[in-house]
Structure formats: C-alpha cells, structure tokens
Amino acid sequence: MGLPLYGAQDDPGPSFLAYAQREGLVSLATGPEALSPHATTVVALRYAGGVVMVGDRQATANYVASRDVRKIEAADRFTALAISGSAARGMEFIRMAQLSFEHYEKMTDTALSLEGKANYLSPIIQRNNLGSPLVVIPLLAGWDPSHRRGRVFEYDGAGGCYERQDFTTIGSGSPFAESALRLGFRADLSLEEALDLGALALYEAGDNDPATGGPDFVRGIYPMMVVLDERGFTELANDDVAARFRAIQERRAATSGVAGGTLR
C-alpha cells in the first residue's frame, strides 16, 4: 500500500469506509448463507444513568459453532456495538465501525456525535444486507456526552436506523427477550434493576430459543453484560454475571421452572 494522497476534488474525507472502498480494502462477495455461523440474542435497555446491554455467547450453524463469541464490543469509549446474523460479516462490521469512529477522530481532531455514528452505520448495513444473503443486524448503544443520557439505536434489515426510548433486542431469541423486557421495563429503572431485567430477558431467550446460549454453568461461560454511562464502557466481571444468572437459576429451580406470576 503506497501513500494514499488525494487532490482536493477526489479526497475521500474523514470517512474510513469511503477510503477503504476506493482502495479496494473491502469487498462484497456473496455466497450461500450456510457458509457463516449465526450470532444471536443481544438486548439493550435504557436506565436513568445510561444503557445496559446483555448478549449471549453462542454462534450456531446447525450445530454449536462457538460457545464464547463476543457479540458486544466497545466501538469507542462511550459507544458499544452488538451484532446478530452472519458472524463473518458481523465481525467485519464491528471492525469497520470501530476503525471508522477512530479514523474520523484522528482526521478531524473531534469525535463523531452519537447520532453521527448511528447514521454512519446505515449505508454499511444497507450495502451488506441488500447485496448479499449474509445478513447482519446491528445494535448501537452509548452514552451521549453532548446530551448527557444513554441512547439506543436499532436497525432494520435494509439499514433503517431508529432510536428507541426504552429498549431493543436483536437476534433469534428476540421474541422471548422482548416479552420479558415489555413486562419488566419502567422509565425509572435503577442500574441494578436494569442489570437484573436484562439478565432475565436473556435467560428467557436462552431458555426458549435453541440458537441462543443461556448461562453455561458447566463451562463457566456466561452472557456478556455491559454498562454504558458517563464514565464510558464497562464490562461486568465474570463472577458478577455468574452470580446474577445463578440467582435466576435458583429461583426457577425452586418453582420447577415456572416464573410463578412475578417477573423473576
């Protein structure tokens, strides 16, 4: 790769995607969907001080392809990205997004706004999903330093970006996770309540959806839990996550697997 110098008329600007496409660093080859394992369920919900995200760790391709995939990644200090759908395209998508936000910051000496990041991802999703069967549905959540609140953005298959005021879910376990969130969500959730509700929603998805990996007590692999607040991106320690899922498991075991009329 030589030195990428451009004239003022054909300069790709601070967009890494524009530069990468121009130089052929990314391609959009298509092929059968079965080539790539699938990543599944992630939930994101707002609480008073930010956003909580919980994601399972399983990748599925008719069999369990991997039990410890990370589907939530920090895109930068205040932003997290999660993916569902084709694992290959999803990982490339996360890499492209992470790099793009950093590239923009280095080129212009200013960070992109959270809404700017959300909009930037739309054409990437559109280009991928309308041009190939290896569909990716992302989720963007973060602390917005200029508006001082947590924000959640969901995408449809064609790249449409929608901000949600409450919560959103992606992946095959969505219907089950969403049901739990719909019953348990309040606008004034505390951080602890939001973490417990998010964990419960993911537990429900793992319980009902064969492609979603719930807590794996045998291997000690638990869903990822992430908090985004004014201090930035924090991932909960494995022990903390294990304790939350063990508590749910014990409550359920005591009532023979029935939630028992309360959200627990």
Partner 1 sequence: MSNYFYVSPQQLINDRAEFAQKGIARGRSILAAIYDVGVVMVAENPSASLNKISEIYDRIAFAGVGRYNEFDRLREAGIRWADGTGFTYSREDVDARALANYYAQHIGDMFTEGPKPLEVEILVAQLGGTLRPTKLYRVAYEGTLTDEPHFAVLGGDAETIRSRFEASEAEPDGLATTLRHAVAALAGPERTIPVEDLEVCILEDRGGRRTFARLSDAEVATLLTE
Which residues are catalytically annotated?
40
Query: Binding to partner 1 by residue 5, rule CB under 8 A?
Result: yes
Site for partner 1 contains 34 (CB under 8 A) = no
| Among the listed residues 10, 109, 188, 250, the single contact to partner 1 using CB under 8 A | 109
H/E element, 161: strand 161-164
What does the DSSP 8-state code read for residue 32? Answer: -
Q: Which is nearer to partner 1, 11 or 230 (CB)?
A: 11
Q: How many residues does the chain have?
A: 264
Q: Shortest approach of partner 1 to residue 99 CB, angstroms?
A: 6
* CA atoms of 152 and 143, how far apart (whole Å): 9
| Whether the Cβ atoms of residue 74 and residue 230 lie closer than 8 Å to each other | no
Q: Which is nearer to partner 1, 19 or 153 (CB)?
A: 19
Which residue's CB is nearer to partner 1, number 9 or number 62? 9
Site for partner 1 in 59-98 (CB under 8 A): 95-96
Among 102, 115, 193, 216, binds partner 1 (CB under 8 A): 102
d(CA 225, CA 87): 19
Residue 22 or 147 having the CB closest to partner 1: 22
**In the set 107, 221, 247, 259, which binds partner 1 (CB under 8 A)?**
107
Distance CA 96, CA 25 (A): 11
Q: How big is the CA angle at 151 (ends 124 and 84), to the nearest 5 degrees? A: 45
Count of residues near partner 1 by CB under 8 A? 21
For residues 12 and 157, which CB has a smaller minimum distance to partner 1 in the complex?
12
The stretch near partner 1 (CB under 8 A) out of 3-11, 135-143, 156-164, 210-218 is 3-11
Print burial letters for 180-200: b (CB count within 10 Å at least 16), e (below 16).
bbeebbeeebeeebbbbbbbb
| Contact letters for partner 1, residues 215-254 (x by CB under 8 A) | ----------------------------------------
Site membership for partner 1, residue 28 (CB under 8 A): no
**How many alpha carbons lie under 13 Å from residue 79 in its C-beta half-sphere?**
25
Residue 12 to residues 23, 117, 242, 250, Cα–Cα distance (Å): 10, 17, 46, 56
**Chain contacts with partner 1 (rule: CB under 8 A):** 1-6, 11-12, 16, 19-20, 23, 25, 95-96, 99, 102-103, 106-107, 109
